[in-house]
Structure 1
Amino acid sequence: MTYSRNLTGLLLSTALLAAGPAAAQKKTPAARPKPAAPGYALQGEVAAPDGTKVYLNRQDDKTSYKDSTTVQGGHFAFRGRLVEPSWVAVQVPAAKRYAGFFLENRPVAVQLPADAKAPAVIKGSATQDEYASYDAQWRAITQKAGPIYEMLAKATPAGAKEATPEARKEADERFAALGTESKQVAEAYVQAHPNSLVAASVIQWRFVDFPDYDEASKLYKQLGPAAKASAPGRSVSKFMTTWDKTAIGTKPEFAQADATGKQVKLSDFRGKYVLVDFWASWCGPCRKENPNVVAMYSKYHGQGFEVVGVSLDAKKEPWLKAIETDGLAWTQLSDLQGWKNAVALQYGIAAVPQNFLVDPQGKVIAKNLRGEELQAKLAQLFAAK
């Protein structure tokens, strides 16, 4: 997954010439050409041979742009114009160098160090400077995840795929603590920069790309008009509007083809509790959760529990193979359009796995239930039957 930053000012036009002889002759002076709107002038430095390809990727709302140039004497350059400060990516595939940063309509310099582990140095972008304060805190949190993965690796018996249950539990608790810490950092940043396009981007990256509707909604309301009007601000707003389509109490409806081409509607399952499960064969967390859903389906299917899988696969063969391998006996739907799956777009699915649970009347009663949460919810529902 998406985005951009603060508005830049236009250059002032030059002062009008003082009235002189031309005024005395009462002639209308020739119209002056308007000064060209300022754009960005990106100068780059990288240790790569002459002729090495360099790419600049950016996006304005739904439109993606990709420009390219070549290295000459260890330098490269791009010129263009942005609607507003935007998140861009500079890539030098042959040299295995990458830099993501905020570009503005002004001279900006990017230096890609020879050491692949060293961060890129960005100068000239005030929006990037503003973002750097948040990025430093975010990086500090992500670095704390390394020791957790190392602990899991050491706690994985030889020949086993996973660590011991005790280690897994400890890791989950430590990851949850990091998640809370990262949420607090994002909240503090948005609250301190309500009029910033960067703040809107933080909401997009932290609570839309990894969906947390309640947090995204809460922080969006704290943004000022300029931040809300920016591309990332509009993206967050669109996410909330789409997400509301599956809010608790709503009655979502859709239709999509199964593997045989037969159109299946969600309303075909009225009278049953239905878990609408968005997943994909390439999604590790989805595949890891599948055994739990299989167990719940086996336990409660006879009592009126159904599952409808909506796959974000783009190819039929791996989709069908995953269904068979994981033993998914329930209805499976897909239009094989990947992230452009029509149902996923309709309901704002920006990450997988995701799900929502509807009751026999077709109303959403819960969202994103996995593991023990799904087990507990179904036990509660069917204990009353």
Structure 2
Amino acid sequence: MMRTSLLRKANLIYLAILVLVLASCEGNKGYTINGTVQGDVENAKVYLQKRDFISQVIIDSTLINDGKFLLEGMVEYPGLYTIIIDRTPEGEASNPKYKNVSHFYLENSDITFEGDINTLPGFYYNAKRKSVPATIKGSMAQTLKDNYEKQVKPLNAQLNELNQRYVNEYLTPYIKDGTENVELGIEITNKEKKINALLLDKKLAFIRNNTHSIVAFDFVSYFFTAMYVDFTVEEIDEMVDWLANDWQETPLFEQLRKQAEAAKRVALGEEFKDIELLNRDGELVKLSTLIEPGKFNMLEFWASWCGPCRGEIPHLKRVHEEYKDKGFNIISISVDSRDKDWKKAMEEEGMVWTQLRDPNGMDGEVKSVYNVLGVPTCIVLDKENRIYKTNMRGAYLDGFLKQEID
């Protein structure tokens, strides 16, 4: 009897250990991506690429056989990845025109990928080509993202329609023959601002309700690393706090904290940062010596090689003449690396207002202090020299001036 009891106990212990082992194995289960692609794709290469803010790294690859492919592995955290299908013919150098890309959230689960090579999104956008995203199932994060996109689709459709109107009815006539319909431009951009505000409210609500998800985490991260940081320091700290309980023990959260600290330098309400720049005479001067007190000062970052920057200059010339004595001062700051290119462009464009250049171009303090990741970039300082408005170009700038000065 005692021996039977001992055997029973031994069996129970064994079963308990087996359950733990199986649970452990299940917990360490990685991902599988079973792909089906229609069209002429035999022996095409398939790459799995990790996308983050530092680099884009290929982590796995395979070939398509009979219209199918399989990728297997394991990720430490769910994240945004890209499947690249490369149909470059044998013997030719890899070329983007032969590549199709599909972005999605990868996690450790069984995932299916279905698409038609004739309609999968290309490496570059082509308005003449029908584009149908791949159907990707099995990732909870991707499903959450898809559901969010469905919710905001009507608002994005309205925004796209307004953007098209802005291009067709305001921007194109201005570029073609100099016809500037200021009132129409302001009307369209005011509508755009209202829709953008609704979209922001929905995104913030999504983040608060899904703090555990990598999708919400990435939304916050994008806010902090975008060209413009349209939040105050208090709002930035609040968003970090939303994610703290779910993410603070991970390396990702430490990265987010660093992004948040960088974003705070150019947050709304922060005082401008003084830097040294070259003037027309080649002298280093402090930015603070050229900011006019008691006025709205706009820091307008540009370059001679930037087409949209050059296209905006006639508008800036008109604004300068109309508002220079009404309380608005423009300071244009070039990120040209070559002095002669800068000076040639200023002469060609007749830029008579304050002109400066970062001596280190795009690698100088304009980037490290003001977070200028691309041009054109515009930042308006209020009368107390604090960051007040961003992205003030075209009719957006006209609307601001009409509201604040006229």
For normalisation by structure 1, the TM-score amounts to 0.69
Question: Residue 345 of structure 1 corresponds to which residue in structure 2?
Answer: 368
Return the letter of the residue paired with 1:212. D
Give yes or no for the alignment of 1:62 onto 2:54. Answer: yes
Deviation at 1:194, TM superposition (A): 2.5
Question: How many pairs are equivalent?
Answer: 348
CA 1:246–1:138 in 2, change beyond 3 Å: closer, same or farther?
same
Q: Does 1:108 align with 2:100?
A: no
Question: In structure 1, how many angstroms separate the alpha carbons of the residues matched to 2:326 and 2:162?
Answer: 41
Greater helix share, 1 or 2?
2
| Cα 1:96–1:253 shift into 2, 3 Å | same
Paired residue secondary structure (1:188): helix
CA-to-partner distance for each residue in 1:220-264, whole Å, 9 max, x for gaps? 443342246667755554343223334535351323567997654
Could you tell me how far 1:65 is from its partner in structure 2? 1.1
Aligned twin of 1:49: 41
Structure 1 residues 333 and 191, CA gap change in structure 2 (3 angstroms): same
Alignment partner, residue 250 of structure 1: 271
- Asked if 1:173 is matched to 2:190, the reply is yes
| Aligned pair partner of 2:156 in 131, 142, 145 | 142
Q: Secondary structure of the equivalent of 2:356?
A: strand
Q: For 1:254-273, what aligned pairs fall within 5 Å after superposition?
A: 254-256=275-277, 263-269=284-290
Corresponding position of 1:186: 203
CA–CA distance in structure 1, aligned partners of residues 157 and 31 of structure 2: 33
How far did 1:86 drift?
0.9
The yes-or-no answer on 1:372 pairing with 2:398 is: yes
The AA in structure 2 aligned to 1:211 is: V
Kindly provide the amino acid, as one letter, of the partner of residue 53 in structure 1.
Answer: K
What is the CA-CA distance between 1:294 and the residue it aligns to?
3.3
Judge conservation of contact 1:54–1:70 (CA < 8 Å) in 2: yes
Q: What is the deviation of 1:101?
A: 0.9
1:309 aligns with 2:333: yes
In structure 1, the partner of 2:19 is none
- Matched residue of 1:222: which SS? helix
TM-score (norm 2): 0.66
Q: Name which of structure 1's ranges 152-161 and 93-102 shifts more when overlaid on structure 2.
A: 152-161
Is the CA contact 1:152–1:163 (under 8 Å) kept in the aligned structure 2?
no
Preserved contact between residue 276 and residue 310 of structure 1 (Cα < 8 Å): no
Percent identity, aligned pairs only?
21
SS in structure 2 of the partner of residue 176 of structure 1: helix
- In structure 2, the residue matched to 1:118 is 132
The superposition leaves residues 40-81 of structure 1 with CA deviations (integer Å, 9 ceiling, x where unpaired) of: 433333334333333333235534313454433323344444
Greater RCO (Cα-Cα under 8 Å, separation 6 or more): 1
Letter in 2 for 1:119: P
- Aligned residue runs from structure 1 range 33-44, under 5 A: 38-44=29-35
Q: Is the CA contact 2:292–2:329 (under 8 Å) kept in the aligned structure 1?
A: no
Q: Which residue of 2 aligns with 1:71?
A: 64
Q: Which residue of 2 aligns with 1:129?
A: 143
Mapped partners of 2:140, 2:29: distance in 1:
16
Amino acid of the structure 1 residue aligned with 2:135: V
Give the Cα separation in 2 of the matches to 1:203 and 1:251: 24
Q: Check the 8 A contact 2:33/2:70 in 1, yes or no.
A: yes
2:379–2:387 Cα contact (<8 Å) kept: no
For 1:223, what is the secondary structure of its paired residue?
helix
Structural RMSD (CA): 4.5
The unaligned stretches of length 5 or more in structure 1 are 1-15, 21-33, 381-385
- What SS does the aligned partner of 2:317 have? helix
For residues 305 and 248 of structure 2, the distance between their equivalents in structure 1, rounded to whole angstroms, comes to 34
* SS of residue matched to 1:62: coil
Q: Which amino acid aligns with 2:69?
A: F
